[in-house]
Chain A
Amino acid sequence: MFKKKVTFKILLLLIASDILETTVHFFFKKSTLGANHGQVTDLATAAVLWKAVFCSPFFWVGLAAVVSVFVLWSLILSKIDLSVAVPIASFSYILVPVVSIIFLHEQITVLRWLGVFFVLAGVILVSLSSKERMEQAK
């Protein structure tokens, strides 16, 4: 029963996979910036973009991060429901603004704080729902 709950260890795994996931997006975005893409309108221009992306080292670093995310994510899913794991993984929407404030001294708008609050409330609700279900199953 206990191991199916969202424990502290699983939460740490989720945060780790979140941080990695963020680096994945960062590197993939970087890899598309290198490409001299105008507008992707059809398959031919899309192919040009993909070719440039595959030649970019950023893309391959991103791919290495993808592999790490896969291993972490498989471990997480072996312990908890998909409908619990995926919402909790949205933690990065809380992490990024907090990190931006502490390390980058960015100004965060009221709307963004409101969003962070909503995500946090949602994550807590979903985490609690997992425990509830387990107690009912007992």
Chain B
Amino acid sequence: MKEGLLLVLFLIALTSLCDTINQLFLKSTIDSLNFTPTFNIVKIFKFIFQLLITPRLWLGFVFSLISLCIWLVVLSKADLNFAFSADSMHYIFIALASRFVLKEKMGFNRWLGTGLIVVGIIFVSLS
């Protein structure tokens, strides 16, 4: 198990990274569409359609697919609890990517909150 542990951790980091890249593409595509929030079904369908015909989104999907394939391998190798606790690094990747790529304004509270969530997830998953 010990020598496999590092490999599993590396694979989990890789899925988290691919997933983060996918989220970045998705969020930037949605931002570029300037969709006004609504609960009108027709408008929502139009919005999803517009999303789906944007090439950038499909680039994100490719990363998502890679992430899914690696995740399936991880699930077959590792315990679900361990996999999820290690997957909490995803939140750190997302926070960093939002700050430096999407230029979202991260206040002190948001950093602290994200950190607490990561610690909490590790506790929940390992217990």
> A residues near B, CB below 8 A?
3, 9, 28-29, 31-32, 35, 37, 39-40, 46, 49-50, 53, 71, 73-75, 77-79, 81-84, 86-87, 90, 93, 97, 109, 111-112, 114-130, 132-133
A-B residue pair count with CB separations less than 8 angstroms: 154
Among A50, A82, A124, chain B packs the most CB atoms within 10 A around the CB of A82
Would A90 and B47 count as touching, CB distance under 8 A?
no
Whether B56 sits at the interface, judged by CB under 8 Å, is: no
Chain B, Cβ-Cβ closest to A62? B68
Number of residues in B with C-beta < 8 Å to the partner? 51
A129→B115 CA distance, assembly (Å): 14
Q: Helix, strand, loop or mixed for chain B's interface?
A: helix
Partner pick for A40 among B23, B76, B80, B104, CB 8 A cutoff: B76
A78→B51 CA distance, assembly (Å): 11
Chain B, Cβ-Cβ closest to A112? B127
Chain A, Cβ-Cβ closest to B34? A78
Would B98 and A82 count as touching, CB distance under 8 A?
yes
A117: chain B residues at CB < 8 Å are: 120
Would A122 and B116 count as touching, CB distance under 8 A?
yes
Other 15 A-B pairs with CB < 8 A, given A115-B127, A122-B112: A3-B37, A28-B75, A46-B73, A78-B37, A82-B23, A82-B97, A82-B104, A83-B104, A83-B110, A86-B90, A87-B91, A87-B114, A123-B113, A125-B112, A126-B117
A83: chain B residues at CB < 8 Å are: 94-95, 98-99, 102, 104, 106, 110, 114
Min C-beta distance of A115 to chain B, whole Å: 3
> B residues near A, CB below 8 A?
23-24, 26-27, 30, 33, 35, 37, 39, 44, 47-48, 51, 69, 71-73, 75-77, 80, 90-91, 94-95, 97-99, 102, 104-107, 109-110, 112-127
Min C-beta distance of B82 to chain A, whole Å: 13
Assuming the A-B contacts A83-B94, A125-B113, are A118 and B119 also in contact, with contact meaning beta carbons closer than 8 angstroms in the complex? yes
A71: chain B residues at CB < 8 Å are: 44, 48
Partner pick for A79 among B37, B69, B98, CB 8 A cutoff: B37
Assuming the A-B contacts A71-B48, A83-B99, are A129 and B107 also in contact, with contact meaning beta carbons closer than 8 angstroms in the complex? yes
Chain B, Cβ-Cβ closest to A39? B77
A117→B117 CA distance, assembly (Å): 9
Partner pick for A77 among B30, B72, B109, B110, CB 8 A cutoff: B30
